[in-house]
Amino acid sequence: MYRTHTCGALNIQDTGKEVTLAGWVQTIRKFGAITFVDLRDRYGITQLLFGEALNRELEMHPIGREYVLQAKGVVSERSNKNLNLPTGEIEVNVTSFTILNASATPPFTIQDDTDGGDDLRMKYRYLDLRRNMVKRNLELRYAVSRSARNYLHENGFMDIETPFLIKSTPEGARDFVVPSRMNTGQFYALPQSPQTFKQLLMVSGYDRYYQIVKCFRDEDLRADRQPEFTQIDCEMSFVEQKDILDMFEGLIKRIFKDVKGIDYTAAIEKISWDDAMWHYGNDKPDTRFNMQVANLKVPPHVFSDRRHTIPQTAIGASGFKVFQDAETILAIAVPGCSAYSRKQTDELTEWVKRPQIGMKGLVFIKYDTDGSIKSSIDKFFSPEQLKVIADAVKARPSDLILILAGDEERTRKAVSELRLEMGKRLGLRKENEFRLLWVLDFPLFEYDADQNRWVARHHPFTSPKPSDIDTMIHHSPVIKDPAKYLEHPYAVIKANAYDMVLNGNEIGGGSIRIFQRDLQEKMFSALGMSKEEAQYKFGFLLGAFEYGAPPHGGIAFGFDRLCAILGGSESIRDFIAFPKNNSGRDVMLDAPATIDEHQLAELSIGIRKEIK
Amino acid sequence: MYRTHTCGALNIQDTGKEVTLAGWVQTIRKFGAITFVDLRDRYGITQLLFGEALNRELEMHPIGREYVLQAKGVVSERSNKNLNLPTGEIEVNVTSFTILNASATPPFTIQDDTDGGDDLRMKYRYLDLRRNMVKRNLELRYAVSRSARNYLHENGFMDIETPFLIKSTPEGARDFVVPSRMNTGQFYALPQSPQTFKQLLMVSGYDRYYQIVKCFRDEDLRADRQPEFTQIDCEMSFVEQKDILDMFEGLIKRIFKDVKGIDYTAAIEKISWDDAMWHYGNDKPDTRFNMQVANLKVPPHVFSDRRHTIPQTAIGASGFKVFQDAETILAIAVPGCSAYSRKQTDELTEWVKRPQIGMKGLVFIKYDTDGSIKSSIDKFFSPEQLKVIADAVKARPSDLILILAGDEERTRKAVSELRLEMGKRLGLRKENEFRLLWVLDFPLFEYDADQNRWVARHHPFTSPKPSDIDTMIHHSPVIKDPAKYLEHPYAVIKANAYDMVLNGNEIGGGSIRIFQRDLQEKMFSALGMSKEEAQYKFGFLLGAFEYGAPPHGGIAFGFDRLCAILGGSESIRDFIAFPKNNSGRDVMLDAPATIDEHQLAELSIGIRKEIK
């Protein structure tokens, strides 16, 4: 062993001990004949003191930043103590040292506030990983996985590995494929998730399965997506939705306790998908703050069961064409902002007009602290009418009411974004506050206008809610009139699915699964799959359902994102040791890369030269 | 929840309780108006009693083998107790039941002694996994991973995930590759191991890393190899060989304790590679029994430091051409077998002549209990000469001496196989005895006659023994005269490498790594790699070594094999939930498979029609 102690271990109790440390040179400070070196390792930093006697040695073997040093010496009390450091009361009075390895000058500083840009740090990721901040992220990641494993183990879950070289059955996302050398012209696929395998394990009787496992999706990457990512993947048999919610509420609370020291004692709130969309415009609402959406107008057949709650009088006949023509009108009341200047409201109007939001404009009503009301639509609405609207929005004096009008889908999305933006501006989305939420009862299907058919919102193995199974079985999935797809009975079928949301991010999702062969076949056919195609792709699962499949369900957590949120970051990349960039490249390895003709020939594949 | 208890939970203490169980129907036995059903789940089997009152119900809803049943009833003491079962003192007197799912008749019986052949069980792996035996194997696997994780955690190791989509740098084995859609004509590779990444993590300062991780090798599969397999992969910084051996001796002993309840208190024996080859003909000797090999003749330049130990007189001038012509003569003394019949010795002769062993014949000497000596070479050797040989082999009266002569490589391999075979026949390789061994000081290089160059025996990152570094640096790797490659200084360079051997199986291997850029470059060049090629393939590692790489080393355990041996099986497949067959196919999924033209076009690849 090159060391007797780590650089984080020594303190005042160790004074007088002869020790050997090994680590990296963080800083070098010379004071006359004396040299101080901060030696760093994974565990901390210890100050080394090189006295006059070592000067000749230091001249012959000069040391620099990031050199790997082994130093022998005696622990001494420091005159100039640093009580912020666990080792700050001592230093090691060096008697001899060895340079274990030299270092070129790093391309950026190894510090929290490094001078290295993103690209440089990715290229030299092995140096970036030395920064305390990145180290803390990976430590947090390990702590989360350790906590999850312990909880799941204590609850009888078994870690069972599922294969990585499987069959390509693209549903939604694209598969990465792997050419098989031994089976010419054939390909394996990398799993998008172990979904079917964990269901097979339930059929096999392993009633509590888990795995922390890599998954792969060949998608066009958005800023915060990776082609390979990690899931905490779980499945249980003989359970209903409530059992799963309870079990994984326990898991997330355990993680909060173990990793953040937070006792999240409150029960996790539950909200239906309909309510989430209605009140927040979003199926993963950030519930750290209220500022709920007021629905002033919605189109027919959307939220049909709650349209009666809209006070129609508020936006009634006023001659204001924007409101009259809009399919949907939604509003929020932003507390304490009634005194916004023209400049400020103009800026907000520009904000909603950006392409990412895509609205044509923004209507505002200032409900002053004195009870007076001013608005951008004074021409069309009397103060009394404006007051009716303000009441409909449940605004209070001092609120700034923001109103968006337009298409249902875009407007709802926009009001959600606006709500989040205002929450952020008002400091209502606190980094150290964590608010969990279960979102339940998602629609089972989404309508695909291009193909005029249903697609699975979650995946084809999600069961309808028990009360909706009959609807699914007894109606044809065929949509006769595309214009009236919302009137099709499938449009209102709810999935027995659930998402766990943390601070406005989906961190996990799952469902009770279909476990009956006939219902699974009906689902495949509802998604436009022929019997032959279903058999080719999922014959093994349909087969398994013939031999005593138990009722089962599960959940998968996005491990990278969960870690990022717990670590207070927006970027999952900061929590992955060797991430890829937005083009799916590992710039450190320079991968992907060409392979040689010999490899291609062995795999019996060739590169197409033509442009796609 | 569909159940109040599992099928393994109830005992006599629960008598009188109203319970609900759910599970699979293992057996149905009718006795007049009464029906007994054994209900099975992951945790055990509980007997259900369906009384007369349920007959009508059972007629209307008949149940069969492997049906999924939910049964409500009262726990009662059994009249006919089965004390071999934890639940054998009770039964559940069923008051109502629900068939949760029916089952077709399984294609084979769900029992330890199933009637299903290998192919059928692989196709219906989800049913095979229900068998108690397979379940025990997967439970053992989970127990090993849990034990390893706990030990490594307690010793400061961090689980850090390394990427799966990396760069193809084939060295030895073939890579599986993954075409990149976004980078036309380029490919990722799946990792053969996280070797370079764990070394980068050491450079980054994460001084104790581990991962239980899938690895991929596109090799022609032997009976007991899988294209994807799992490693317990570990790396440490600031360590020498001894530190690593100590740490992982601790790991394996912990696993023995946790998983098998075995206190393996003895220190693990260490043997050099030279000694292993000399005494056992094999670099992973089974040391559960002795029966060491006697070296009667070896060629020059092989084991040159110990040729003087051979008693030349024993096989000296005798006119026996087989011995005279042989490069190598090796023998073992098989205890208690001097009375073997002609038929038995003939059978052994046939055994060594099989193509797998490939010897031309077998010489035997029977050293009778009365001290008399008979042999198959009486024509050539006097009894006195035979006694000299017997003494050289350290034979004792009642031993059967078996002598093989031929080429060094083949003969050594053959004597090793013969030793193992005789050990097996004599019952010396006991399934419940576990004997660990460290094999040290492997040769760093192997000679590749086809290319007349050196290849890395372990991998290109293995450091030479400290005492051999100068030899490597100061000599050219070029082999001027291929016939005399054994005289090249590189032929005797030893690696700072170690294998852990359990009962004659290599279960883990590793090395102290090169951590200096110049030595690593020298290694690449010694392996015939140009500077450009080394830079293209491993530039990131060479680069990392410039910025303060610490001394480091590690080990990787073959997790599948370790589990198989601990489970008393020869086949790793029995310890993998969803294994592939010997053609690399998953017969359950029917993968690999063709993918559609659309997928190929998106990836810009095509299938070559021509024959390879």
Cis ω on the peptide bond leading into residue B86 (within 30° of 0)?
no
Give the span between the Cα atoms of B587 and B119, in whole angstroms: 8
Percent of all residues in chain A with a pLDDT value above 90, rounded to a whole number:
87
pLDDT band at A311 (very low <50, low <70, confident <90, very high): confident
Residue type, A448: D
pLDDT band at A313 (very low <50, low <70, confident <90, very high): low
Residues 158-177 of B with CB under 8 A from A: 158-168, 170, 174-177
Q: What is the pLDDT of residues A47-64, one digit of tens each?
A: 999 999 999 999 999 999
Chain A nearest-CA residue for B66: A548
Contact B206, B159 (CB under 8 A): no
Task: Indicate the DSSP class of residue B492.
Answer: G
Residues 290-329 of A with CB under 8 A from B: none
Burial class (CB in 10 A: 0-12, 13-18, 19+), B401: buried
Give the span between the Cα atoms of B250 and B118, in whole angstroms: 37
In the predicted structure, residue A342 carries a pLDDT above the cut 70: yes
DSSP characters for B495-535? BSEEEEEETTEEEEEEEEBP--HHHHHHHHHHTT--HHHHH
Contact B167, A586 (CB under 8 A): yes
Q: Pick left, alpha or beta for residue A16 (phi over 0 → left; psi -120 to 50 → alpha; otherwise beta).
A: left
Q: What is the pLDDT of residues B447-469, one digit of tens each?
A: 999 999 999 999 999 999 999 99
What angle separates helix A241-255 from helix A132-154, to the nearest 10 degrees? 140
Q: Rounded to an integer, what is the distance from CA A201 to the centroid of its chain? A: 27
Contact B142, A159 (CB under 8 A): yes
Percent of all residues in chain A with a pLDDT value above 70, rounded to a whole number:
98
Among A495, A482, A490, A480, which residue's Cα sits nearest to residue A526?
A: A490
A207 touches chain B (CB under 8 A): yes
B153 touches chain A (CB under 8 A): yes
- Would you state the pLDDT for residue B612? 44
Contact call for A182 and B583, based on CB within 8 A = yes
Give the span between the Cα atoms of B232 and B255, in whole angstroms: 12
Q: Which of A165, A586, A594 sits opposite B166 (nearest CB)?
A: A586
- Would you state the pLDDT for residue A314? 66
Q: Tell me how crowded residue A347 is: count the other CB atoms within 10 A of its CB.
A: 11
DSSP characters for A286-337? -TTS--PPEEEE--TTSSTTTGGGS-GGGG-S-S-HHHHH-SEEEEEEETT-
Residues of A in contact with B594 (CB under 8 A): 185-187
| Separation of first and last alpha carbons in chain B | 57
Mean pLDDT of the residues in chain B: 94
Q: Which two three-digit tokens encode residue B596?
A: 């559609």
Q: What is the pLDDT of residues A224-258, one digit of tens each?
A: 789 999 999 999 999 999 999 999 999 999 999 99
The listed CATH number (3.20.20.80, 3.40.190.10, 3.90.1150.10, 3.30.1360.30) that belongs to domain B289-429: 3.30.1360.30
Residues of B in contact with A41 (CB under 8 A): 205, 207
Q: Which two three-digit tokens encode residue B438?
A: 């460290």
Give the span between the Cα atoms of B483 and A205, in whole angstroms: 61
Helix (H, G, I), strand (E, B) or coil at B44: strand
Gap from A512 CA to chain B (nearest CA, Å):
12
With DSSP H G I counted as helix, E B as strand and the rest as coil, what are the percentages for chain A, rounded to 5? 30, 25, 40
Own/partner long-range contacts of A308-316 (Cβ < 8 Å, ≥24 apart): A310/A392, A311/A388, A311/A391, A311/A392, A313/A388, A314/A385, A314/A388, A314/A389, A314/A391, A314/A392, A315/A389
Q: For B249, what's the count of Cα atoms within 13 Å in the CB-facing half-sphere?
A: 19
Q: What is the pLDDT of residues B134-191, one digit of tens each?
A: 999 999 999 999 999 999 999 999 999 999 999 998 777 899 999 999 999 999 999 9
B68 touches chain A (CB under 8 A): yes
Contact B123, B117 (CB under 8 A): no
Contact call for B612 and A605, based on CB within 8 A = no
Phi, psi of B493 (to 5 degrees): -65, 130
Residues of A in contact with B591 (CB under 8 A): 165-167, 188-189
Q: Where are the alpha helices (DSSP H) in B67-194?
A: 118-123, 125-128, 132-154
Give the span between the Cα atoms of B212 and A409, in whole angstroms: 45
Q: For A259, what's the count of Cα atoms within 13 Å in the CB-facing half-sphere?
A: 29
Radius of gyration of chain B (CA): 30
Q: What is the dihedral of CA A195, A199, A205, A207, to 10 degrees?
A: 60
Contact A476, A308 (CB under 8 A): no
Mean pLDDT by 10 residues, chain B (612 residues): 97 97 97 95 97 93 96 96 94 97 95 90 96 96 98 98 93 89 94 97 98 95 87 98 98 98 97 96 96 92 77 73 92 96 96 96 95 92 90 94 96 98 96 95 94 92 95 93 91 96 97 97 95 94 97 98 94 95 93 92 86 48
Residues 1-20 of B with CB under 8 A from A: 1-3
Residues of B in contact with A175 (CB under 8 A): 599
> With helix as H, strand as E and coil as C, how does B363-375 read?
EEEEECCCCCEEE
- Of all helices (H) and strands (E), which one includes residue B606? strand B605-607
Contacts of B28 (CB under 8 A, 6+ apart): B35, B36, B37, B63, B64, B65
Residues 236-275 of B with CB under 8 A from A: 238-240, 243
Gap from B588 CA to chain A (nearest CA, Å):
6
Q: What is the pLDDT of residues A15-39, one digit of tens each?
A: 999 999 999 999 999 999 999 999 9
Contact B139, B132 (CB under 8 A): no
The class of domain B12-101 in CATH terms is mainly beta
DSSP characters for B429-479? S-TT---EEEEE--BSEEEETTTTEEEESS-TTBPBPGGGHHHHHHS----
Q: What is the pLDDT of residues A266-305, one digit of tens each?
A: 999 999 999 999 999 999 999 999 999 999 999 887 887 7
Residues of A in contact with B176 (CB under 8 A): 165, 178, 188
Residues of A in contact with B258 (CB under 8 A): none
Residues of B in contact with A169 (CB under 8 A): none
Interface size, chain A vs chain B, as Cβ–Cβ contacts under 8 Å: 350
- Would you state the pLDDT for residue A170? 74
Residues of A in contact with B180 (CB under 8 A): 584, 592
- Would you state the pLDDT for residue B303? 80
Q: Which two three-digit tokens encode residue B36?
A: 């007994």
- Would you state the pLDDT for residue B313? 67
Contact call for A100 and B578, based on CB within 8 A = no
Residues of B in contact with A601 (CB under 8 A): 608, 612
In the predicted structure, residue A318 carries a pLDDT above the cut 90: no
Contacts of B304 (CB under 8 A, 6+ apart): none
A203 touches chain B (CB under 8 A): yes
- Would you state the pLDDT for residue A310? 77
Q: What is the pLDDT of residues A410-421, one digit of tens each?
A: 999 999 999 999
Q: What is the pTM of this model?
A: 0.96
Q: Which two three-digit tokens encode residue A483?
A: 């214009």
- Would you state the pLDDT for residue B304? 74
Residues 496-515 of B with CB under 8 A from A: 515
Q: Tell me how crowded residue B539 is: count the other CB atoms within 10 A of its CB.
A: 14
Contact call for B227 and A165, based on CB within 8 A = yes
Give the span between the Cα atoms of B326 and B359, in whole angstroms: 12
Residues 331-390 of B with CB under 8 A from A: none
Domain positions in chain B are 12-101, 289-429, 443-494+516-539
Give the span between the Cα atoms of A310 and A317, in whole angstroms: 15
